[in-house]
């Protein structure tokens, strides 16, 4: 079995560069292979940038999922932050740390999974870094573009805004609780961009830490409280039965599961409702509560419910 | 002694955010605290982005240097890549991985050192990520801006270009060999920007891996060979004597020391010489060789000299 140490730092970089291919020279004048990458914006756009770390034993385990699945999850996690800003993705950078004894196929499998999600978002890998380490980790940086002043933010909520969420919640948490991860969420890039064009949208965040935690971030940034209608939370078909079979609390997974990568956002009182938003975003949207005046706090969640946190 | 686990993920983020302060709202409309940061370019500029990893036991050791020195070196290493592109720095992102038992003062000392170098480059920390890991590592992303089509590149060398280097070489290697790191290089931001304005400049790279290795990168990217005049390499005052005292090879440190973070660049035959470049860049510039036609290879370096590599 070939190991990373058999090809060395530059051998690994060459292989990653070959898998990545070349981006569009007009949008990426300088890609992999220089001291930095150069990316081109359109007129009137701002740069949007986010960085995310993905550590073996913390965010993924190779005995729970294939390297490609881990790589896909890393990619989706980072791209989801661009989706939450309503941004047009431009490019991805990967800082990969691997033990020298890691099988080369594992490292490249991870990169292939990551590249699959980058391609799905229509963007190239434009740069990165490879280093030796004791454990596998990947730090991803995603770059995007937003029309000036139009990026979605966590702090733009107002009292009276209704709260909506895309898709369904709880599926990723259920898989993780089962100890076998095959499903990978979707970065809601197109939905985020559609939201950024709607003037009646308030705050937006992606559901990565879990619904209550992320709603808490949104509340704190906006200086508001929120009321959640737990019974209205959208869940996968057969979710309660599956949870019962596994001895898991369905409500806990809905509220605190994490990694759903759906968009949680607020809309002004006169803005569109769930039906119209579903049409505009091209995927199911459900109204699940509202923002209200008061110190940051999520109401409607059982006190002491798992995942609930004071802030 | 307080440990990172005593303040938790969000406690650590809050402390880092407080140390970082707030950037200029006009250039950074959205900074730390949202899903991503938003940065504004000037008209006609492109985004320049680079990511770099800095791993305990590989790139730094807390028994060889203070946390602040390690943080400063991490910052300089990343900013130096922007300097090599001739870019105007815009902002920095930090993905920090720490063991829960790490003393809080060590984590914050590292961040303070990093922020010192960011301030020196005139830029804010605009975002990042904190995660648990078994070893300390920091992945840095630096964003900059370059006038459209004017970023310096490794692949822009031509046969006949003369080779120049800023400052002196070997000092960082000498400190590392002594096992006690106090000196921290300087990211040559202003010099890089001055070079990007000169039409007669060819290829550019920063000396991070070591002079011969980095000249090799430049040669390979440009499809050229290079001739080095080893006796002309600029070295610190008293360098040979210091190397003798420590039993170290001076030439080895000059050629392969690494982390000097000086700029290595080529200039067309009709472009300015060392004296004029010294005036324009505001720091000593020395002519050290030339680019020539032929397969990528560095001539003038003793065959088998430490640090020399085939490519």
Spell out the residues 6+ positions from residue B134 whose beta carbon is closer than 8 angstroms to its own: A57, A134, A135, B99
Lowest mean pLDDT among A88-97, B201-210, B251-260: B251-260
pLDDT of residue A305: 52
Q: What is the pLDDT of residues B37-73, one digit of tens each?
A: 999 999 999 999 999 999 999 998 888 899 999 999 9
ipTM of the complex as predicted = 0.93
Q: Which of B139, B301, B123, B279 is nearest to B211 (CA)?
A: B301
pLDDT of residue A310: 35
For testing contact with chain B, the best of A34, A126, A202 (most B CBs within 10 A): A34
Q: How confident is the model at residue B25 (pLDDT cuts 50, 70, 90)?
A: confident
B57 touches chain A (CB under 8 A): yes
Q: What is the pLDDT of residues A30-45, one digit of tens each?
A: 999 999 999 999 999 9
Lowest mean pLDDT among A20-34, A193-207, B110-124, B272-286: A20-34
Q: How confident is the model at residue A18 (pLDDT cuts 50, 70, 90)?
A: very high
Strand order in the sheet with B37-39: A125-132, A88-98, A137-147, A45-55, B37-39
pLDDT of residue B62: 87
Report the first-to-last Cα separation within chain B, whole angstroms.
Answer: 49
Which stretch, A133-142, A177-186, B55-64, B245-254, has highest mean pLDDT? A133-142
pLDDT greater than 60 at residue A307: no
pLDDT greater than 70 at residue A293: yes
Spell out the residues 6+ positions from residue A304 whose beta carbon is closer than 8 angstroms to its own: none
Q: How confident is the model at residue A227 (pLDDT cuts 50, 70, 90)?
A: very high
3-state DSSP assignment of residue B193: helix
- Whole-angstrom distance, CA of residue B235 vs CA of residue B244: 14
- Whole-angstrom distance, CA of residue B59 vs CA of residue B303: 27
Instruction: Characterize the bridge pairing of strands B125-132 and B263-267.
Output: unpaired
Q: Which of A198, A186, A221, A220 is nearest to A270 (CA)?
A: A198
A154 vs B34: CB contact, 8 Å cut-off?
yes
Distances (CA, A) of A296 to A154, A217, A258, A289: 13, 9, 20, 15
pLDDT of residue B306: 47
Averaged pLDDT for residues A58-79: 93
Q: Which residues pair with B47 in a beta bridge?
A: A39, B145
Q: Give the burial string for B117-144 (b: 16+ CB within 10 Å, else e).
A: bbebbebbbbbbbbbbbbbbbbbbbbbb
Q: Which residues pair with B165 in a beta bridge?
A: B264, B286
CA distance A178 to chain B (A): 23
Q: Which one-letter DSSP state was computed for residue B157?
A: -
Inter-chain contacts counted by CB atoms under 8 A, chains A and B: 195
pLDDT of residue A306: 47
Phi and psi of B67, rounded to 5°? -55, -35
How many other C-beta atoms are found inside a 10 Å radius of the C-beta of residue A305?
Answer: 14
Strand order in the sheet with A285-292: A201-206, A263-267, A162-166, A285-292, A225-228, A298-299
- Whole-angstrom distance, CA of residue A169 vs CA of residue A263: 10
Do B176 and B259 touch, CB atoms closer than 8 A?
Answer: yes
Q: How confident is the model at residue A308 (pLDDT cuts 50, 70, 90)?
A: very low
Q: Which residues pair with B285 in a beta bridge?
A: B166
Q: What is the pLDDT of residues B170-206, one digit of tens each?
A: 998 888 888 777 788 999 999 999 999 999 999 999 9
Averaged pLDDT for residues A97-112: 96
pLDDT greater than 70 at residue A62: yes
pLDDT of residue A131: 94
Q: Which of B113, B93, B114, B111 is nearest to B102 (CA)?
A: B111
- Whole-angstrom distance, CA of residue B7 vs CA of residue B227: 55
Averaged pLDDT for residues B204-223: 95
3-state DSSP assignment of residue B78: helix
Average pLDDT over chain B, rounded to whole? 93
pLDDT greater than 60 at residue B305: no
B10, B35, B38 member nearest A47 (Cβ) = B38
A51 vs B139: CB contact, 8 Å cut-off?
yes
Averaged pLDDT for residues A13-39: 90
- Whole-angstrom distance, CA of residue A83 vs CA of residue A12: 30
Give the max Cα distance, chain A. 62
Give the max Cα distance, chain B. 62
- Whole-angstrom distance, CA of residue A62 vs CA of residue B216: 37
pLDDT greater than 50 at residue A303: yes
Averaged pLDDT for residues B240-256: 92
pLDDT of residue A64: 85
Distances (CA, A) of B55 to A96, A105, B165: 11, 23, 28
Q: Which one-letter DSSP state was computed for residue B60?
A: B
Residues 95 through 134 of chain A touching chain B, CB cutoff 8 Å: 95, 97, 126-129, 131-134
Residues 37 through 56 of chain B touching chain A, CB cutoff 8 Å: 37-41, 46-53, 55
CA distance A244 to chain B (A): 32
A53 vs B134: CB contact, 8 Å cut-off?
no
Distances (CA, A) of A176 to A70, A86, A135, A171, A246: 12, 28, 21, 9, 12
- Whole-angstrom distance, CA of residue B231 vs CA of residue B248: 17
pLDDT of residue B310: 35
Lowest mean pLDDT among A175-179, B100-104, B191-195: A175-179
pLDDT greater than 70 at residue B304: no
pLDDT of residue B233: 96
Averaged pLDDT for residues B75-81: 97
pLDDT greater than 90 at residue A137: yes
- Whole-angstrom distance, CA of residue A292 vs CA of residue A159: 4
Q: Give the burial string for B14-31 (b: 16+ CB within 10 Å, else e).
A: ebbbeebeebeeebbbbb
Angle B205-B259-B247 from CA coordinates, rounded to 5° = 130
Nearest CA in chain A to B80: A35
pLDDT greater than 70 at residue A309: no
A36 vs B85: CB contact, 8 Å cut-off?
yes
pLDDT of residue A302: 80
Averaged pLDDT for residues A161-179: 91
pLDDT of residue B178: 81
Averaged pLDDT for residues A93-112: 96
Averaged pLDDT for residues A255-277: 95
Residues 171 through 230 of chain A touching chain B, CB cutoff 8 Å: 205-206, 221
Q: Give the burial string for A143-178 (b: 16+ CB within 10 Å, else e).
A: bbbbbeebbbbbbbbbeebbbbbbbbbbbbbbbbbe
Angle B266-B268-B273 from CA coordinates, rounded to 5° = 80
Averaged pLDDT for residues A166-172: 94
Distances (CA, A) of B124 to A288, B9, B30, B33: 37, 21, 12, 13
Do B278 and B272 touch, CB atoms closer than 8 A?
Answer: no
Residues B281, B190, B50, B175: what is their CA dihedral angle, to the nearest 10 degrees? 80
Q: Which of B250, B207, B224, B220 is nearest to B162 (CA)?
A: B224
pLDDT of residue B16: 95
Q: Which residues pair with A89 in a beta bridge?
A: A144
A51, A84, A97 member nearest B129 (Cβ) = A51
Q: Chain B partners of A37 at a C-beta cutoff of 8 Å? A: 48-50
pLDDT greater than 50 at residue A272: yes
């Amino acid at each position: 079995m070939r190991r990373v140490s058999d090809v060395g730092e530059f051998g690994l970089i060459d292989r990653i560069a070959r898998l990545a291919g070349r981006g569009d020279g007009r949008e990426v004048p300088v890609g992999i292979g220089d001291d930095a990458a150069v990316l081109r914006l359109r007129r009137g756009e701002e740069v949007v940038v986010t960085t995310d770390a993905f550590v073996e034993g913390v965010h993924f385990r190779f005995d729970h999922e294939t390297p490609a699945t881990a790589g896909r999850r890393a990619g989706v996690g980072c791209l989801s932050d661009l989706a939450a800003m309503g941004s047009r993705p431009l490019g991805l950078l990967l800082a990969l740390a691997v033990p020298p004894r890691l099988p080369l196929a594992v490292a490249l499998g991870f990169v292939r999974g990551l590249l699959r999600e980058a391609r799905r978002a229509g963007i190239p890998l434009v740069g990165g870094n490879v280093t030796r380490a004791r454990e596998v980790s990947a730090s991803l940086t995603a770059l995007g573009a937003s029309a000036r002043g139009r990026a979605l933010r966590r702090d733009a909520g107002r009292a009276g805004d209704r709260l909506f969420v895309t898709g369904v919640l709880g599926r990723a948490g259920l898989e993780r609780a089962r100890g076998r991860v095959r499903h990978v969420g979707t970065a809601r890039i197109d939905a985020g961009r559609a939201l950024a064009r709607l003037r009646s949208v308030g705050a937006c965040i992606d559901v990565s830490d879990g619904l209550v935690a992320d709603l808490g971030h949104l509340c704190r940034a906006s200086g508001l409280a929120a009321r959640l209608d737990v019974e209205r939370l959208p869940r996968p078909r057969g979710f309660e039965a599956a949870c019962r079979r596994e001895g898991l609390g369905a409500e806990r997974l809905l509220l605190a599961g994490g990694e759903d990568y759906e968009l949680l956002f607020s809309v002004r009182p006169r803005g569109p409702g769930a039906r119209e938003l579903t049409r505009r975003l091209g995927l199911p949207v459900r109204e699940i509560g509202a923002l209200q005046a008061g110190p940051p706090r999520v109401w409607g969640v059982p006190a002491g419910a798992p995942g609930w946190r004071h802030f």
